[in-house]
Structure 1
Amino acid sequence: MAVKILAHGDTDGICAAALARARFPEAEVWFARPVSLPKYLGKVEPGTTVIICDIAISETQKEDLFGRIRELAQRDEVIYLDHHPLPPGTLRRDVPATQFAHEIGVSTSELAFRIFIQDPNSDLDRVALWGAIGDYCEETDFVRDGLSKYNRRTIYMEAGLLSQALGDATGDYHYKRDVMFKLSQGAPPTEIPEIVDRAVRATKREWEVYEYVKKHVVRKGNLAIVYDLPSGSLGKAAMHALGVAGTDVGLCTRRDEDEIDVSVRRRAGVNIDLNEMLRHITARLGGSGGGHEGAAGATIPATILDVFLDTLKKEIAPVIGREPGLKR
């Protein structure tokens, strides 16, 4: 039986896909986003096992997505692994996959290791550790135990190089697929071609982004905004923005023709759920959005940017407070 793996193209998604492919070495791997997942599932041929890794369920695409999964699951196996919050009003039992592994606060890579590898003595646990660190999901027993098995600095160095290199790759899915294949075979990032050079290049670019943010950040109340970042990570620029401006929430945009990509970050300890907020705002105004409590994003029509920002500013103003601890 054919196996297709659909994964998010970030560090956690690629590491989770690598662990799935270690279990199914002949599997074909596609990269997808929440809004494009139904389209990719529509291309799956009968007689194919489908594995979905680290792709959030889009509120606006939910019905189409569930309909397609239900179709596939009637005759074949559909395994869905994810750690993003579910859309409002959605229960785990509503997801019509034959197996749905979902846990917030745990990386999809860790879920993939539990399901596809299972052997606690396998060195592939390193791949799960790199994925967890890359997605800031380190506060689990699995990660703590893993960091006791290996040298902590080495694991973090490999994870940092991998995350930075994949950030440099962005839309280079051929390279990301090559990295995923190597990881599935147990190769550490330092043994994968171009990883170090790409990571160094990405890190230099990140400091350039930081300098750009310092010059261009705009503060509106408790929201720091960087408009139309020319290049680099929107998420990291949003984090730099809140740090430079001294706000609790940072936001960065980039326009792509008639749409605008938005990334939003909150300061550690701030009591606000960015995932829920962006889901609600985009459901009302248009576009799609979501992610995690402290790190989320949206894609919106360019025509509604001003209204979107005004709505976000008003939403965060009355509810932000501080809680003890620094959980992201």
Structure 2
Amino acid sequence: MTKSRKHENKSTLILTHGDSDGVCSGAIAKSAYPEADVYFTSPVGVLDDLNIADGYRNVIICDIAIDERHCVGLFKRLDGIASVANLTYIDHHPLPERCVTASWLHHDQSSCASELTYKVLEGRLSRDMRRVAIYGAIGDYYDTSPSVKEWLRDWDKRSLFFQAGTLIQALIYSGRNYEFKRKLIAPLSHDKIPTEITNVLRYAKEGAVLEEKLRIHVKHDVRALNNLAYVVDPNGYMSKSAIYAASYGQKDVGISAEFRHKRNAYDMSLRSRNSGSVDLNRLLRRIAPEFGGSGGGHASAAGARIPKESFDAFLREFDKAIGVQKRRAAEL
């Protein structure tokens, strides 16, 4: 959360994720409720950040995965908010088995959060805001959903992919610069194209230069096990590093790991090039806690945090589990 303070007699609060799908979801919600205050949060921070919801009559949460360890406490807090305010929780990440139903929850794993946010709030939106939903879908690799494929027919696909790619690259380059991300929300909510928003083109260009350096670094430093390839401390974009690790390591799964000194743990981004037989989310939710960590996400894109002392053992066990899952999938 970038700010923390109490609000009284406020109308609408939007809490959303800071990646491209989250920013686009937040912009769509802001378009539906122009007076809304927008803040960024995360799956591990949302429970604490919900304190800011006090005093709001309408609360919208977009693209925040529900963490398995905290789902019971989170649902209890959200039920409390729903008892005094209008609550709308929009997400597309796999749900923990213990917390799967609520009247305020709008959930669909087959679409990105941007598409789902547009559909939930469609009655308050201009049809042109579908374009922003498409940006989010491209950014989260959900641009082949039936609705997005239909919406794409109303636009020049090449132009939309250029705008989306520019926005995505700028957001990745900006990292935790939430002030920049917050300044994107208002123009996007008015359907302003990303290349016309201040600093987007500049950040995207600088990000592209860094990505090329990162690609070369990963090419030379990638390490491979039987079923996964990984790179440690790539000094660059985590998700892109994982993609290049899989590519240059010639494995189905790529992992990028960065050591966080304050936590004495490795934060990881994982990408699978074979989502048909490797479900990263399922494997991480089972294996990461065995090593004192946590993890989850989507079948082909996920994240994890593992203590330093368990990192090597985790990689070996995870590599073994990928092999088992692939063999079982081949037998079906």
Report the TM range for the smaller structure's normalisation.
over 0.9
2:94 to 85, 88, 93: 85
Q: Which residue of 1 aligns with 2:33?
A: 24
SS in structure 2 at match of 1:60: helix
Paired position in structure 1 for 2:310: 304
RMSD across aligned positions (CA): 1.8
Does 2:210 correspond to 1:205?
yes
CA drift of 1:118 comes to 3.8
Matches of residues 284-323 of structure 1 in structure 2 within 5 Å?
A: 284-320=290-326
1:161 aligns with 2:166: yes
Q: Is the contact between residue 46 and residue 72 of structure 1 (CA under 8 Å) also seen in structure 2?
A: no
Unaligned runs of 5+ in 1: none
Aligned match of 1:76: 85
1:34-53 deviation per Cα after TM superposition (whole angstroms, max 9, x unaligned): 01010101232134321110
Shift of 1:301: 2.3
Matched, 1:40 2:44: no
Offset from partner CA, 1:98-136 (integer Å, 9 cap, x none)? 421111120111111112234786211110111111111
Match in the other structure for 1:55: 64
Runs (4+) of structure 1 exceeding 6 A deviation are: none
Equivalent pair of 2:232/2:257 in contact (CA under 8 Å): yes
Q: Determine the structure 2 residue equivalent to 1:281.
A: 287
Contact 2:62 2:90 in 1 (8 A): yes
* Aligned match of 1:134: 139
TM-score (structure 1 length as normaliser): 0.92
1:41-84, Cα deviation, whole Å (9 max, x unpaired) = 12321343211100100011112211211211111121000011
Q: Indicate conservation of the 8 Å contact 2:82/2:104, yes or no.
A: no
Query: CA-to-partner distance for each residue in 1:118-170, whole Å, 9 max, x for gaps?
Result: 47862111101111111110122221122111101001100000000000111
Q: Percent identity?
A: 36
Give the 3-state SS of the residue equivalent to 2:324 in structure 1: coil
How does the TM-score come out when normalised to structure 2? 0.91
Tell me how far apart the structure 1 counterparts of residues 276 and 155 of structure 2 sit (CA, whole Å): 33
Shift of 1:318: 2.0
**2:238 is matched with which residue?**
234
Q: Is the 8 A contact 1:269 1:322 kept in 2?
A: no
**What is the correspondence of 1:175-194 to structure 2 with a 5 Å cutoff?**
175-194=180-199
Unaligned runs of 5+ in 2: 1-9
Q: Deviation at 1:322? A: 10
Give the structure 2 partner of residue 246 of structure 1. Answer: 250
Residue aligning to 2:17: 8
